[in-house]
Amino acid sequence: MDKRLWIFRHAETELNRKGMVQGKIDTHINDEGLRQSKALFEKYSGHGFEKILVSGLQRTHQTMRPFIEAGIPYEVHPAINELSWGYQEGMMPTAESTEDYHRVVCAWESGDLHTKLREGESAHELRERLVPFIEH
């Protein structure tokens, strides 16, 4: 049987609007996010989705709320929560934090998946929590 997996990013939050690092901070979508959620539903509601899978973060559930309210079954999976960006969460990017971020991403691109930001999560740790979800 042919199945498709559709992946949608959550709608806008205030932290997104302000350009702040969000990561695992559990925020609500804002008014623009509500508009985006409605537009997403209007564009994709006829695609016959069998199930909605959302992370444990409010913004993902709120983004998909119109589909859920239309009666499409859903499941919450904290394993697919956003990567933790550690000390940078809730901050506006600075020259130092941007340099730190690029250092980590370059390490990942070079195969060092254990590198992470202070108090953050590594790509290896992310993989460890995503593999069981993917197998599910």
CA distance 98 to 114: 19
pTM for the whole structure: 0.89
**According to the model, what pLDDT value does residue 29 have?**
98
Total residue length of the chain: 136
Which residues neighbour 134 within 8 Å (Cβ) at sequence distance 6 or greater?
none
Q: Identify the H or E element spanning 37.
A: helix 31-44
pLDDT (tens digit per residue) in 2-61: 778 899 999 999 999 999 999 999 999 999 999 999 999 999 999 999 999 999 999 999
**According to the model, what pLDDT value does residue 63 have?**
98
pLDDT (tens digit per residue) in 89-108: 999 999 999 999 999 999 99
Q: Tokens representing 99?
A: 């340099």
Radius of gyration of the chain (CA): 17
DSSP 3-state assignment of 53?
strand
Residue 1 has pLDDT above 70, yes or no: no
